[in-house]
Amino acid sequence: MKALVYAGVQALDYRYVPDPQPQSGQQLVRIEASGICGSDMHAFLGHDERRPAPLILGHEAAGTISGGPRDGERVTINPLVSCGTCRACQAGRDNLCPDRMIISMPPREGAFAEFVVMQDQNLVTVPTDVQLHKAALAEPIACGWHAVRLGAAALDLSLDQARCHVIGGGAIGVGAALALRAFGATQITVAEPNALRRATLDQIDGFDAVAPGAVTDVDLVIDGVGYAATRADATAITLPGGVIMHIGLGEGVGGLDIRRMTLQEITFIGTYTYTAQDFRDTAAAIFDGRLGPLDWTERRALADGQQAFEDIRAGKVAAPKIILEPGAS
């Protein structure tokens, strides 16, 4: 098969690699759409020691099962594989499984390829009227869905009364904003520094796109970026008794005003990916239209992946998400 292989810092090689071989309980999926995630960009820049070269990146994917009793079934892929037996898994918090694995991280190759293998239970059937490049958004949006669910439970007022603010206008931030709307929030802003992307966000219903620093006094903040500067902004603008949900993995330290958080009883919750149920619920919300038309992506050929990564890094991409398609030319 052809795959886009991370070959070294800022180097992606589109080349032939051996086809993956499904084992018992797994399916071979022909990939038709795979989104570029911020974690893929971190690896591309050499900033993620968990993803050493050579490696096939990509974990936001949808496609069609090839072979076996489910041959031809259209699916979106939950890339997070858990053990199913530990305390976290038994409690329905499988995203915290100590033995969890995700495709695009050794030993699991990712979905920037023509095929990937995945466990049966991680595949969610996609209705025939839903395009697969939209179904591939289930993974990034599920991160925001999970954060909104936890944030709503921690907040001392209902979401329809809360002032909600999302930091970051990429797919994680946009997904969080759309999830907020689906959960009943009505006052939602999304901060995005790139004016080109902010113009695209202005076309999406359900929230207002703003420049960083334009919003103060909010009840619930979702930081989809995770840098010291965004954490500093979050702690500065959250009202007493408010909640900060931290999804972003930009950098590991700095930014939190612990004294203010303590004096104002501001809750800070780190949130990692999503549970299997969150993923299924997000997929269902995509399928029934609760998350809108999802027409804010840009689609490119997998063969053009190197240029796509370079354009994202240079700030030339207006869309919150680029979807790579192996079958495109």
Q: List the Cα angle 182/183/189 in 5-degree steps.
A: 75
- Convert the pLDDT of each residue in 69-126 to its tens digit: 999 999 999 999 999 999 999 999 999 999 999 999 999 999 999 999 999 999 999 9
Buried b (16+ CB within 10 A) or exposed e, 16-37: ebeebebeeebbbbbbbbbbbb
Please say whether the beta carbons of 285 and 311 come within 8 A: no
Q: What one-character DSSP code corresponds to residue 20? A: P
Euclidean distance between CA atoms 199 and 185, whole angstroms: 22
Residue 327's pLDDT band, with cuts at 50, 70 and 90, is confident
Please state, for a pLDDT cut of 90, what percent of the chain lies above it.
Answer: 97
Residue 17's pLDDT band, with cuts at 50, 70 and 90, is very high
Q: What one-character DSSP code corresponds to residue 105? A: B
pLDDT the model gives residue 329: 64
Tell me the average pLDDT of the chain.
96
Please say whether the beta carbons of 247 and 227 come within 8 A: no
- If you write DSSP's letter for every residue of 235-267 in order, what string do you get? HHHEEEEEEEEE---S-SS----HHHHHHTT-E
pLDDT the model gives residue 328: 78
Note the pTM of the prediction, 2 decimals. Answer: 0.96
Euclidean distance between CA atoms 244 and 127, whole angstroms: 35
Q: How far is CA 186 from the centre of its chain?
A: 22
Average pLDDT, integer, range 178-188: 98
